[in-house]
Structure 1
Amino acid sequence: MFRVLIIFATSLCLCELVKGDCGVVTKQQWGGLQPTHVQYLPRPVDLVIIQHTVTPMCTTDTACMDRMRNTQDYHMDTLGWWDIGSSFYVGGNGKVYEGAGWLHVGAQPWATTNAPLASLSSETTKVIIVEILYYLVNDGPTTQQLNAVKALLKCGVESGHLTSNYHVVGHRQLIATVSPGRNLYREIRTWPEWMEDVSSIKN
């Protein structure tokens, strides 16, 4: 009987590992490569940056996993980054995909402390970057994508990855870019966590 209980408990643990923290599709599941460098992220984090990719929408599991692999290849092989750039990616299928994740600093140069292009102050480079898999300049995110982002951030607070009073900003508030797109930016400006004045977190 004791052996059966041990096997059952082990199975539950394995299920949680496969599922991933906060239900995200893990890097292993979508076929991601290991980073060439790791910079650990002190937690809990109090800043979340929302941005978007410049890629077509993916609406199926297969298409979104392909998009993740292609994005990582571009970031690492073409741009020379140590890993895929953002913490998490959200597909049109409503699923969240692990990038750098909750534990590691994203590989985007402007978001790292030692990069000449850094736009954030050294005290606020501890950020979670959530990127929507779509080119959202004129279109809006799907309801599934918005719900997935909100669920991820809620889970982040409950799991101790985010502070209870974290702030959300749009990518365009920090550097000269249209990201996260006009309609998505309009949406996040209605969120209670949105920070309008970012002067305190920029160099």
Structure 2
Amino acid sequence: MKILCSIFSLFIILVTVNGDCGVVTKREWDGLSPLQVEYLARPVDLVIIQHTVTRTCSTDEKCAEIVRNIQTNHMDNLNYADIGSSFVIGGNGKVYEGAGWLHVGAHTYGYNKRSIGITFIGNYNNDTPTEASLEALKALLRCGVEQGHLTSNYRLVGHRQLIATESPGRKLYNEIRRWPQFARDVTSIKNP
């Protein structure tokens, strides 16, 4: 009976961590298990938005393929323990599990241990984010707050505000700058 209760408890934890947020799990996109994990102190108050600078995707099959390719590159070529992003969002409006809510990612040097990194598939200097992908981000953030992964007063920033990069691209950056959680002044966030 104790074993059955333990298994049921583990199932509930896993469903709570990803299931309620509608996240496509690594198992579902055929991702590899991380080589090692470091746990992220939660709740987190910083969300960093990035882009992949790859082609966009609009189908489940193509988006999952791109996420697998990113993970392969991160693990095989960059020697990361896993895909770097906490989550990846496709043009199909689906959110793909990366390091997730629980683990430290490898998305923004100097900020990984205190943030969630969410990466959009595409090059948003050229591409316009789909309404479905923007709604997926909003739903993920809402769910993160509801489940206690994010503080209710979390700050949303573009990758470019913290390090020298064009990410998340002008068009995506222009979109998130209008959101109420967007932090225009990153002085208190930025590493010295």
Q: Compute the TM-score of the two structures, normalised by the length of structure 2.
A: 0.88
Give secondary structure in 2 for the equivalent of 1:100. Answer: coil
What residue in structure 1 maps to residue 91 of structure 2? 92
Please give the residue correspondences for 1:1-203 in structure 2 after superposition, counting only pairs within 5 Å: 16=15, 20-108=19-107, 110-111=109-110, 125-202=113-190, 203=192
What whole-Å deviation, never above 9, does each CA across 1:52-94 have from its counterpart, x for those lacking one? 0011011111111111110000001011111101000001110
Which 4+ residue blocks in structure 1 deviate beyond 3 angstroms? Answer: 12-17
Paired residue total: 184
**Deviations, residues 126-168 of structure 1 (Å, cap 9, x unaligned):** 1011100111112220101100000100010011110010000
Provide the rounded CA distance (Å) in 2 between the counterparts of 1:176 and 1:126: 19
SS of residue paired to 1:201:
coil
Q: After alignment, is 102-111 or 42-51 more displaced? A: 102-111
Aligned partners of 1:183 and 1:42: how far apart in 2?
31
Alignment RMSD: 2.4
Instruction: Compute the displacement of 1:16 (Å).
Output: 4.2
CA distance in 1, matches of 2:108, 2:45: 20
Distance 1:191 1:109, change over 3 A: closer
CA deviations on 1:109-140 (whole Å, 9 max, x unpaired) are 61467xxxxxxxxxxx3101110011111222
Distance 2:101 2:32 in 1: 17
1:14, 1:185 → 2: CA distance?
34
Displacement of 1:108 in angstroms is 3.3
| Contact 1:92–1:145 under 8 Å retained in 2 | yes
Larger radius of gyration: 1
The normalised TM-score by structure 1 is 0.84
Q: Aligned equivalents of 1:51 and 1:109: distance in 2?
A: 9
Distance 1:95 1:14, change over 3 A: same
Distance across 2 between alignment mates of 1:77 and 1:38: 17
* Counterpart AA for 2:19: G
Is the 1:106–1:112 contact (alpha carbons within 8 Å) kept by the matching residues of 2?
no
